[in-house]
Amino acid sequence: MDFDSDIVIAGGGLNGPALALALAGAGLRVTLVDPAKRADRKADDFDGRAYALAHGSRNLLAAVGVWPAVADKAQPILHVQIGEGHAGQGASPFSLDFDHAEIEEGPMGFMVEDRHLRPALLDALDEAAGIDCLRNTVTDHEALAAGVRVTLASGQQIMARLLVGCDGRKSSTAQRTGITRQGWDYGQTALVCAIDHERPHRGTAHQLFLPGGPFAILPLQGNRSSIVWSEERAQADALAKMDDTAFLTALRPRFGDFLGQIGLAGARFSYPLNLTLAQAIHGPRVALVGDAAHGVHPIAGQGLNLGLRDVAALAEVIVDAKRRGEDLGTEAVLSRYAGWRRFDSAAIGLGSDVVNRVFSSRMPAIRAIGAAGLSVTNALPGLRRRLIREAAGLSGDRPRLLQAKPL
């Protein structure tokens, strides 16, 4: 049988290109299919979106050769403050402070703007050998004994060994495979924007659990920070409709004045918050990655980090299988990926959900339990270090790419 490609990847957002680079770098032939115009995917004006990259995610980007292009535009996260109430009012008794000096690997993470990360990945795709990028859409696939026949909207057919769906929360790859999803709606919406401020943030990220939902201030380069402000849906919709002046007036009391005067530094976005978990992350000749496998609440920027951990695990499973001579798209191989990711995705998905529900609760008793949990955690150095390492993506049986090692 003649194969056009080893792996077809449906979806060219962030996880798809990262996976393509990892696989092609290890000698596999990859076809990346995405319908978006290249210019749309690379628009470089600042739109306010940014990612809190965990240390492991940074390592992966370094291993696939993308990190040098974003390194000098990334803001290291040197401190993290987690607590109740308002930012900048000093440590309340119910707060949790993390400092990067507590782990050996340097900064706890990096804030990288979408306008820098996306073009860096797309440029790397252009330079990589062994990646065929098609501006098209996967409309069908058929799992065969030795491979998968992928059909594109253009009518073109591609024979490969495996189809990977990096096609988001509404993954049509998952739908065609008969993989159903389970979802929870939080009844909350996240408002995302970038803020200019007067005083330097000194690399500090704040995560506050306010009654309406979590509120994060994440440091960007210069005197700018990214805001992720979650509110109950009706309230958030009202905030989203406000003009910029009214929005800033509503933001100020929550943001506090510890960074001085604030102003908007880009567009405002709103995202309804929901959790969606695919009931399986693999099927016959199919694997799911990122939001296609699990769309999570973006508390602490875990969405992209979780996706890149999928990328690291799947790339390693596939490359190791290839070097053993195994058939890449079989249950024997893909079940290793599923087994590796099962605990992490469930833990993060449900962990973020529980934390958010506790701190968004209107019942004082439940909020008190959450606050007590923060104080206890703050007092126990071992648990603290474990939490820091978990958030930084440094725990568990870690794929080689998350350790910046080549495949």
Partner 1 sequence: MQAADHTVDAAEVAKFEAMAAEWWDLNGKFKPLHMLNPTRLDYITTQIEDEFDRDLRDETPFSGLRLLDIGCGGGLLSEPMARLGATVVGADAAAGNIPVARVHAEQSGLQIDYRHTTAEAMAEAGEQFDVVLNMEVVEHVADPLAYLTACQQLLKPGGLMICSTINRNPKSFAMAIVGAEVIMRWLPRGTHEWNKFITPDELFDLIRKAGLDPVDRKGFVFNPLSWQWSISDRDLSVNYTTASVKPA
- Site residues for partner 1 per CB under 8 A: 1, 26-27, 145-147, 320-321, 323-327, 331-332, 335
CA 390 to CA 226: how far, in whole Å? 22
Cβ distance 352 to 297 under 8 Å?
A: yes
Minimum distance of partner 1 from residue 64's CB (angstroms):
15
Helices 331-360, 302-324: inter-axial angle, 10-degree rounding: 170
Give 1 or 39: the residue with its C-beta nearer to partner 1: 1
Give 28 or 163: the residue with its C-beta nearer to partner 1: 28
CA 250 to CA 134: how far, in whole Å? 45
CA 378 to CA 387: how far, in whole Å? 10
Give 186 or 340: the residue with its C-beta nearer to partner 1: 340
Minimum distance of partner 1 from residue 292's CB (angstroms):
24
Minimum distance of partner 1 from residue 324's CB (angstroms):
4
Q: Which residues of 61-77 are buried (b: 16+ CB within 10 A; e: fewer)?
A: bebbebbebbeebbbeb
Distance of CA 150 to the CA centre of its chain: 27
Minimum distance of partner 1 from residue 179's CB (angstroms):
19
CA 280 to CA 267: how far, in whole Å? 36
Give 27 or 211: the residue with its C-beta nearer to partner 1: 27
Minimum distance of partner 1 from residue 62's CB (angstroms):
19
Give 202 or 324: the residue with its C-beta nearer to partner 1: 324
| Closest-CA residue to 369 (of 245, 159, 209) | 209
CA 162 to CA 165: how far, in whole Å? 10
Give 86 or 149: the residue with its C-beta nearer to partner 1: 149
Minimum distance of partner 1 from residue 329's CB (angstroms):
11
